[in-house]
Structure 1
Amino acid sequence: MTSTTGRLAYLRDEQSVEIREYPVPDPEPGALVTEVVQANVCGSELHIWKGIHPVLDRMVLGHEALCRVTDVGDGVETDYAGEPIEEGDLIAPTYFVACGKCEYCGRGEFRSCENALQHWLEHPDEFPHFHGTFATHYYVHPEQHFYKVPENIPDGVAAAANCALTQVLFGLDEVGLSYGETVVIQGGGGLGQNAIAVANEYGAETILVEGVDERIERARSFGVDHVVDFREYDTVEARGERVAELTDGRGADVGVEVAGVPDAFAEGPHLLRDGARYLEIGNITPGRTAEIDPALFTRKNIEVTPTMRYDPWYLKKGLEFLSRTVEKYPYDDLIDAEFDLVDTQTALEQSDAREITRASLVPHEH
């Protein structure tokens, strides 16, 4: 072990983070102890921090991370793809578990595992303390998938692999996006930019609906084919007509909602052709509603596919995708601010105020 104690960011109350210190545990058989190299601030952290997440609160924050193995439990010889693992290796763990024993795992629906967040929910006083990645250390449980990170992926890019990139990769496979199709992406945040990259690599034509200059400029650097600026096309009808113009009068083959705005979901069918597929990822907070015309989905035969998390082996696919395309897309640009762990509260406040696009925590030992 490199340290006998470590620190973590504990959400003790709504919008109030406390840095706590705990002993670094020894790993159980099948588990790993790691040092956190870099952890990113995802939109989910902001939901938790503000007290609007439906499940998570009063917890160790953080789930996107790149970790370095410091202690290997008995029986651990490889990652979940069979790659040999030893101390010093860089890994990306899934932020949830697929227990393999619940009803949903038994049906092969691993992303819906009943125990997916069981460890993240635990209070830091409970062993092994380091339940989240906003910390100097992170504990990888025996049933938690993890994969060795290819050497050519930069730290900040690798840290985001287990959420944004892998989520849209899984989702676009779920709706069967294929070569030559047109996909409209609602929202140009981190998920949206990654969706552009994946859609490009699949040979699809991409349309982004967005109204923030910085996000539009970044989308162009990611190779988006068309942008529908909602400041210019300022009604649902106008945006629908513009997408139709770009798609031979039909509408897009596939829609992707990653804006996280209920009204965006209601707008979806206006942007899509008859028989289209619609991927819903962004709206994850219950209780926020929109006025929806369900007949638009019915009469246009639109298939709606929601995805919450992903099948855990998709993280390996995500890392492979990044390794192949890391020189092609400016993934590094999605992270624009770096903070020490002790400044977690500031990182969250500035992220929530949109003063920065995407914050990253780089824990330092003191």
Structure 2
Amino acid sequence: MKAYAMVLKEYNKPLVPREFDIVDPPKGEMLVKVLAAGICGSDVHMWKGNDPRLTLPMILGHEGVGQVVSLSQPWTDINGEAVKEGDIIIWDRGVTCGKCYYCAVKREPSLCENRWTYGINTTCKEPPYLRGCYSEYMYLAAGTKIIKIKEEVDLAVLVAASCSGATTAHAFDILSPDIGDSVLIQGPGPIGLFAVAFAKARGARNIIVIGGTKERLEMCKLFGANVVLNRNNTTQEQRRQQVLDITSGRGVDVAIEAVGHPSAVSEGIKLVRSGGAYLSVGFGDPNGTVTLDCYYDVVRKNLRYQGVWVSDTKHLNIAVNMVLNDIEKFKLLVTDRYYLKDANKALNTMEKKETIKSVLIPHI
């Protein structure tokens, strides 16, 4: 039996199709049939060689939903339920050690010193080869946290919960707006859309989104945004004035950066009220620095500036349930579906922002 996969062999070059032999899963692992794999914006960064964590050749893809094919030993999901062949599952993309200082003492597994991620820290030059979701099959290692999906739903809708959704859930777990607060979201991509949904669910009164893609901004309205500001037809001063008008001159209570560019940080911090918070979620790879006025922008405002790095299983569970609770709305997020062999086209459309969320369907 063979598994077809799309392999990243050289940065900035098309992914290359390759077949791998499928064998029984190694001890402690399981073999999964990939039913849907998300094209993440960070996949584009990796494809371009901007992520320092990669080792080539590799199979991209850290967002996946699949069906259990075979188990090397008994498994249970996070709810303690036995996992069996044929079950539909979603898995935590990051595998942590549970023993280091951050896991065992600080209870922050997202900062685990030994954490590795499917489709990022993995290579296909050595067994078991299949560790990324741009493949028909993959092996899940011992220690992977999984959630059984019992509902009969469109699985493509769930893939974003494993990265964009979980990371956004982490942000709102660190700092959640109060009921009635004003929330600014910079970036109308998948993280931004999840942020709109979370802000709405947490009771935010005004949800403002700044972005540069008309279609994505319109989608934000459907997810619950009150105001969208297109940075391509407004000036920074016009956006600042609109935010102040909406917030009685104070600025927003919470701002969430989901862009990954220094210019967004420079603008966004100045739109937060005194005593407010700024959460930076969008930097998935090194992308420049920001100069801040430490007195006026931070100290004098008593500002909380919070970085948000990846997520853990708690956040995956929150995101999955967020999607399952409103599956019809989150269906809107998936704007394009591709055969696995068309992964290069999917990456190109993501790079050009011609899609909101693209999903590979390995088995048709």
Question: Closer, same or farther in 2 for the Cα pair 1:294/1:26, shift >3 Å?
Answer: farther
In 1, Cα distance between equivalents of 2:155 and 2:104: 35
User: Cα deviation per residue 1:11-62 (whole Å; 9 max; x = unaligned)?
Assistant: 1001231112112232244322100001010011000001111222422100
1:31 maps onto 2:29 in alignment: yes
In 1, Cα distance between equivalents of 2:151 and 2:124: 32
User: Cα deviation per residue 1:294-316 (whole Å; 9 max; x = unaligned)?
Assistant: 33112111111111111223212
CA contact (8 A) 2:92 2:312 kept: no
Structure 1 SS opposite 2:255: strand
Q: CA RMSD in A?
A: 1.8
Question: Closer, same or farther in 2 for the Cα pair 1:146/1:228, shift >3 Å?
Answer: same
Which position in structure 2 is the counterpart of 1:83? 81
AA in 2 matched with 1:245: D
Which position in structure 1 is the counterpart of 2:213? 212
1:233 positional shift:
3.1
In 2, Cα distance between equivalents of 1:278 and 1:350: 30
Runs of 4+ residues over 6 Å off in structure 1? none
Which position in structure 1 is the counterpart of 2:144? 144
Structure 1 SS opposite 2:270: helix
AA in 2 matched with 1:316: N
- Structure 1 range deviating more: 276-285 or 27-36: 27-36
Under a length normalisation based on structure 1, what TM-score does the superposition of the two structures give? 0.92
Which position in structure 1 is the counterpart of 2:288? 288
1:118 positional shift:
6.3
Structure 2 gap segments, 5+ residues each: none
Question: Closer, same or farther in 2 for the Cα pair 1:255/1:113, shift >3 Å?
Answer: same
CA contact (8 A) 2:96 2:114 kept: yes
In 2, Cα distance between equivalents of 1:66 and 1:210: 29
Which position in structure 2 is the counterpart of 1:8? 5
CA contact (8 A) 1:49 1:57 kept: no
In 1, Cα distance between equivalents of 2:54 and 2:73: 31
In 1, Cα distance between equivalents of 2:208 and 2:357: 23
Which position in structure 2 is the counterpart of 1:98? 96
Which position in structure 2 is the counterpart of 1:46? 44
AA in 2 matched with 1:15: N
1:289 positional shift:
2.6
- Structure 1 range deviating more: 253-262 or 149-158: 149-158
Question: Closer, same or farther in 2 for the Cα pair 1:212/1:121, shift >3 Å?
Answer: closer
User: Cα deviation per residue 1:285-337 (whole Å; 9 max; x = unaligned)?
Assistant: 2242344333311211111111111122321222122121224x2x2222222
In 2, Cα distance between equivalents of 1:125 and 1:230: 44
Q: What is the number of residues matched between the two proteins?
A: 358
Structure 1 gap segments, 5+ residues each: none
Which position in structure 1 is the counterpart of 2:174? 174
Which position in structure 2 is the counterpart of 1:124? 124
1:150 positional shift:
4.1
Under a length normalisation based on structure 2, what TM-score does the superposition of the two structures give? 0.93
Structure 1 SS opposite 2:234: coil
CA contact (8 A) 2:55 2:122 kept: no
CA contact (8 A) 1:177 1:204 kept: yes
Aligned identity (percent) is 31
In 1, Cα distance between equivalents of 2:11 and 2:305: 34
AA in 2 matched with 1:356: T
1:115 maps onto 2:145 in alignment: no
